[in-house]
Structure 1
Amino acid sequence: MDDTWLARIGAMRSSLSQPATTPIFQTAVYDFEDLDALEAVWTKAEAGFIYGRFGQPNSQDLEEAIAKLEGAEAGLACSSGMGAISAALMSTLEQGSHIVAAQGIYGGTSSLLLKELGRFGVTSSFVDIQDLDQLERAITPQTRLILIESLSNPLVIVPDLPAIVALARRYRLKVLVDNTLAPCLLKPHDHGADFVVHSVTKYLGGHADLTAGVLTGSTELIQLARRAAITLGLTAPAFDCWLACRGLKTLSLRLERHCFNAQKMAEFLSDQSQVKRVYYPGLPSHSSYLLAQKLFAFGGGPLVSFELAGGYLAVDQLIKCLPSIPLSPSFGGVNTSLSYPAKTSHRALSTEEQERCGIGIGLLRLSVGIERWEDLCAEFAVALGEKP
């Protein structure tokens, strides 16, 4: 019978050579020579791994890389950006806690705050993050954390992070910054942020082929977040972490091209008669222009949003006239894509809430890729000239 040896195929082999790239550790569990080895790894007296949900070499590589990128002591790889935010909040808040968050934040985040955490006695207030007086008025004795995005989606607003952190320190509050839209451009920890979170699915991975998130912060804060992530099953699988580490190798090159192209597209769209308004912090007309110049290492970011004068019908017509640019409810890939925020990222909001956040029926978000900018402008010029 072949049952026994078939069940035991596969072995670790020693070699004088090493793989040129980190292998994918596609295993759910790790074996030990004896009880002493098990105890040494479990108590962290020796380095090693135990069980996939607790972490593995590929997630460790990703955590260390993003922690270094963000200038943090430690990192935590999670199954998604929402997993990373959840780990931070679950390790920081308790029943009765209050959060102040930026108005118009990602719909998934607002749903987490209102529909999930709200059921357990955590309350949230949403404010115009450009109005520091309004932010301060929202703080209560129960407030524990301020949650903001370094570059908002879809109106690409840049908050005054140094001023917000200074305000938080006066009230002994923690600050969580979602830096998904501004990797390499801004390092929130340098300005005093306690947590930085990324949806690795977007620019860090960069190729729309993985789902992961990462959280960075002090060793103490990440230890608490890791405990929550392990308990809740929020940790990241090996393959997605491996893909993310591969994507990171070209992050700086990609972001420079994304931002360069975004600037060109913003300038082009500003000159089109069918375009009512363009939102891009690289344009002097944008409310965040001066802050972007002050805080960002380069560029105005990789996203451009614009409002069509013809409303919903004009949006639908433009999408149909751009067959090479997909309508995609995400961003951050190497190819350019369009999204309609009212029906994707912010569809959980009521019409009134969308309007309050500046998300109208004619608003489109453009995730600008790394193609030749001249080709992108030419495609849009043709599409905007089409008649229904």
Structure 2
Amino acid sequence: MTAVVREQRLAGLRWIVVGGGRREVFRALGETAREDIRAVQEAMPERDALRRWVSTAEGGARLQQVLQATRTRYAAEVAELEALAEGAGADVDDLLLANLRGDLGTDDGTGCTDLAWRRSRSFVAHNEDGAPALDGRLMLLTLVIDGLPPVTVQWYPGFLPANTFTATGLGLVWGINHVQVVRPSPAGAGRHFVARALQCAPTLDAAAEHLRTHPSAGGFAYTIGERGSGRVAVVESAAGRVAAVEATAEEPLHWHANHLRHLRDAPDVPPAPRPGCESGHATADLGQYEESLSRGRALEKMHLGPREPSGDWFLEALTSAPLPHGVHRTAAGPDPLMTLCTVVADLTGDRLTVRGASGETAVLPLTDFSRGIATSARAI
């Protein structure tokens, strides 16, 4: 069986659509993105530190612990990564290490911001932040795999397509934020693999249940929206613990950065400090933690009161200004990251707005986006 690959562009971003059998799709993807996979892996700032860590007795033991749990529970997803490596001519152990970097207790920086709203209309919006070296490498990827629902994600080549913004053909969307875990759960699997398996969830309730029953060693915060019902929820999954909060008419606006807001008593992750308390965790990078808290303070100012926001409001909120007035990242001064892509999903209007790092912006139906259809997109 041969996979079918086609390419298109949206808002200045390369968009790859791959269809066929599961293994064939990932092998073809590796072949198509071979140069980008090599470039992204070489650009990873934490790559050398990861290799040094897993060469120690403690780091090596932790890696094997997470690998065993991941291979046992997510054999199909591990096979996807193996096929990707095969197609790219890459070392599969290198790709596995990169995909598990947030599950080993090592520092993984900060990045990405999410906003969500539910009242008479529903929205999920996401800033994807990354190193400037990845500008032009982040792309859109649609997987149309036989027997699985179609899914479109923002994709860093070489990674399992799971750790960014996702829209599925089953009507779910979500943005993901990294959450630093300083003592990973010994029973948890790799968070990228948990998130990839989540893409088959048919409903928001099923997605939340999947995260409750499939613990990850590291941490992700998911801001999830359900197109059919308009329901929106934030689910924090970190070090084997999970907390979920659903938006309501009384509390319609929710946000997330890279610190916990709901798992306040988890001892294995740096908790969000309460007002008047000293921030941080003894083993956390407090400078990066403070950057996330600063974005949180900027987001807290975005009160809407009784009025309903528009998609333009969310786009403006995420892209108008850097700290201290906004959350758009420009890699200026001490900030090492930039916003590579912004998306606003209007669940009620079945509309997705995409803005690339260059400022090019396009809109198209959310249902078309999830299936890899770009013919209805228009620039704005």
TM-score by length of 2: 0.26
Structure in which a larger fraction of residues adopt strand: 2
Which structure has the larger Rg over C-alpha atoms? Answer: 1
TM-score by length of 1: 0.26
